[in-house]
């Protein structure tokens, strides 16, 4: 699941959310917003039984991303329907 919220007039906070144990082990969200660098946005445990990571981007930015799980396994966001052939695509409205 992805959530967005306003940060000022021109920016959005995009929060990437996954269940705590699916997939097991550490997971990072990697994409064009962090130069596809694993570990820069590792999902952290939340009190509600999920884990999340957030990034701030310009409103309307088109984000290409995937999740990178333990052992080098790439995952798509289950709630994002748009793909560009390989990556998930999300527009930060």
Q: Which fold has domain 2-91?
A: Immunoglobulin-like (2.60.40)
pTM of the predicted structure, to 2 decimals: 0.91
Can you give the chain as a three-state secondary structure string? CEEEEEECCCEEEEEEEEECCCCCCCEEEEEHHHCCCCCCCECEECCCCEEEEEEEEECCCEEEEEEEECCCEEECCCCCCCECCCCEEEECC
pLDDT at 58: 96
Percent of the chain with pLDDT over 70: 100
What are the residue ranges spanned by the domains of the chain?
2-91
Contact criterion met (CB below 8 Å) for 52 and 16:
yes
> Over 90: is that where the pLDDT of 59 sits?
yes
Stated length of the chain = 93
pLDDT tens digits, residue range 20-35? Answer: 888 889 999 999 999 9
> Over 90: is that where the pLDDT of 84 sits?
no
């Amino acid at each position: 699941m992805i959530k967005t919220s306003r940060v000022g007039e021109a920016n959005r906070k995009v929060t990437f959310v996954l269940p705590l144990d699916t997939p097991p082990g550490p997971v990072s969200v990697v994409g064009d917003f962090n130069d596809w660098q694993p570990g820069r946005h590792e999902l952290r445990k939340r009190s509600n039984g999920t884990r999340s990571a957030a990034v701030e981007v310009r409103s309307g930015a088109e984000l290409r991303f995937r999740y990178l799980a333990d052992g080098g396994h790439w995952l798509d966001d289950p709630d994002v329907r748009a793909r560009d052939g390989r990556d998930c695509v999300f527009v930060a409205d």
